Structure 1
Amino acid sequence: MRFSSTSDYIAGDDLTMAVNAAITLQRPLLVKGEPGTGKTELARQIAASLGVPIIEWGIKSTTRAQQGLYEYDAVSRLRDSQLGDARVEDVSNYIRKGKLWQAFETDERVVLLIDEIDKADIEFPNDLLQELDQMQFFVYETGATIRARHRPIVIITSNNEKDLPDAFLRRCFFHYIQFPDMDTLKSIVAVHFPDIKPTLLQTALTQFFEIRETPGLKKKPSTSEVLDWLKLLLAEDLSPEELRRDSGGALPKLHGALLKNEQDVHLFERLAFMARRQGR
């Protein structure tokens, strides 16, 4: 099984190599990068490229590792016992399977996405070490051991909001998705907007990279945000001339798609004010 770019996703040589290395080593692929650089979509496209299903486990700050294995609903069992329900005789009726269990019991190999692992408690990755390493876990309530029928392709994403434990990192193959350069970004845009005019695309992307490289910017706009911006530019039918800013500090057209906090908007307003003063 070898991953390659799809018609909907452009993967660079280094990313393609990382995915295939993780598949060969049968280790989880830990993918880091700026928010909006396509980490989650990568897992979906790996599944599409390999022709296998995907199981997605979105992590929140309250997510516990045990939830990925299973949860025992003792409250429901107690309530049913008080009502005389015969289901209480079989404890398995009150076991809710987690995403890892679902991935382990499938009849074919699947992609298992553990999305934004850095949102959870710092102990969360360590609590999954044995299960991801040995591809099995024990269900205490039933006495059963659940073993993976086929080792899933595990993709783990992180926005780098917190450091992950060394013991966990040691078991992963790591890749950092670099922000695409101009040529790669043009290829990505071509997938989504194949009919965009080259002059508009060149003007828009030149302006976009100028914005990203502005000193003092708190949050740099990402790949997903430039795609949203281009969609708006096309919807408004703006020409390259209308898109060009009068000065390097002026706010870009439809800037709300690119600048996502007031500090960055104020930064460009100050730059525009200074540029006007210097132009007098």
Structure 2
Amino acid sequence: MRFTGTDAYVAGKDLMVAVNAAITLERPLLVKGEPGTGKTELAFQIAEALGLRLIQWTVKSTTRAAQGLYEYDAVSRLRDSQLGDEKVNDIRNYIRRGKLWEAFASDERVVLLIDEIDKADIEFPNDLLQELDKMEFDVYETDETVRARHRPIVVVTSNNEKELPDAFLRRCFFHYIQFPDPETLAKIVVVHHPGIKKELVRAALTQFYELREQPGVKKRPAASEALDWIRLLVAEDIEPKDLRESPTSALPKLAGALLKNEQDVHLFERLAFLARRG
């Protein structure tokens, strides 16, 4: 079972090595990188390439590790007992399975995505150490142990908003997705827009990287934003010759797809104004 990328996802050699190493070691694959570099999409493409089902657990700031295992609804059970409902005789009626339980109970191997783990409390990763290591956990209300029938392929993504605990890092295989170079991003664009004019791709990416690397930019546009922008250029039938001006000479066309705060818009407006005066 080896990952070699898919037609819909341009995966570099280092990334394919990391995925296959994690599969071989049966360790979670911890993927970091700038937002918009395809971390979440990677899990979908691993599942697609290997013919496996994907189970996605999207982590929020309020998410607790126990929710990935199960939740016991004591309030509903109390209410039903007051109403005389016979369901109260079986406590299992009030236990809701979490994403880890769903992955462990699957009849076949699955890909489990724990998305944006750094959004949760700092103790969240540590609270999952034993479950991800031993692939089992206890359900105290029913006095049973849930064990994984097939060890899932676990992909964990992080945007580096918080440092993850050392104990958690030791149990993972780590890979950082670098921001794609122009050649790689051009391949990604062609995957998303088959038949796009090469001249348009070249002109658009030249302007995109000039904008992204401009000193003083507060929020550098991500690869996903470049794809959105080029999609708009195609939809508006923009000619390559209309993109040859530097972003410091004129605000890029459809700039709202790339510049996401007023400081950056003002920066390029000011640079364009100075260029015109010069």
Q: Shared fold by TM > 0.5?
A: yes
Does the C-alpha gap of structure 1 residues 246 and 9 become closer, same or farther in structure 2, counting only changes over 3 Å? Answer: closer
Work out the CA distance in 2 between the residues paired with 1:248 and 1:273. Answer: 9
- Letter aligned with residue 92 of structure 2: S
Q: After the TM superposition, which residues 37-52 of structure 1 pair with which residues of structure 2 at under 5 Å, given as runs?
A: 37-52=37-52
Kept in 2: contact 1:247–1:275 (CA 8 A):
no
Work out the CA distance in 2 between the residues paired with 1:31 and 1:246. Answer: 34
Q: Cα RMSD over matched residues? A: 0.9
Work out the CA distance in 1 between the residues paired with 2:229 and 2:205. Answer: 10
Q: Hey, what does 1:135 align to over in structure 2?
A: 135
Tell me how far 1:224 sits from its aligned partner: 0.8
Work out the CA distance in 2 between the residues paired with 1:122 and 1:263. Answer: 32
Q: Hey, what does 1:9 align to over in structure 2?
A: 9
Work out the CA distance in 1 between the residues paired with 2:113 and 2:152. Answer: 10
Kept in 1: contact 2:249–2:276 (CA 8 A):
no
Work out the CA distance in 2 between the residues paired with 1:79 and 1:215. Answer: 61
Work out the CA distance in 1 between the residues paired with 2:247 and 2:147. Answer: 62
Does the C-alpha gap of structure 1 residues 207 and 68 become closer, same or farther in structure 2, counting only changes over 3 Å? Answer: same
Work out the CA distance in 1 between the residues paired with 2:98 and 2:28. Answer: 18
Listed one character per residue, the Cα deviations across residues 169-216 of structure 1 (whole Å, up to 9, x for unaligned) are 111000000011111111111111111111111000111111111011
Q: Hey, what does 2:71 align to over in structure 1?
A: 71
Q: Hey, what does 1:227 align to over in structure 2?
A: 227
Tell me how far 1:148 sits from its aligned partner: 0.3
Aligned residues: 278
Instruction: Give the TM-score normalised by the residue count of structure 1.
Output: 0.98
Report SS of the residue matched to 1:174: strand
Work out the CA distance in 2 between the residues paired with 1:169 and 1:269. Answer: 44
Alignment gaps of 5+ in structure 2: none
Tell me how far 1:250 sits from its aligned partner: 2.2
Work out the CA distance in 1 between the residues paired with 2:64 and 2:249. Answer: 46
User: Is 211-220 or 43-52 further displaced after alignment?
Assistant: 211-220
Q: Hey, what does 1:199 align to over in structure 2?
A: 199
Q: After the TM superposition, which residues 1-280 of structure 1 pair with which residues of structure 2 at under 5 Å, given as runs?
A: 1-245=1-245, 248-278=248-278
Instruction: Give the TM-score normalised by the residue count of structure 2.
Output: 0.98
Alignment gaps of 5+ in structure 1: none
Kept in 1: contact 2:229–2:258 (CA 8 A):
yes
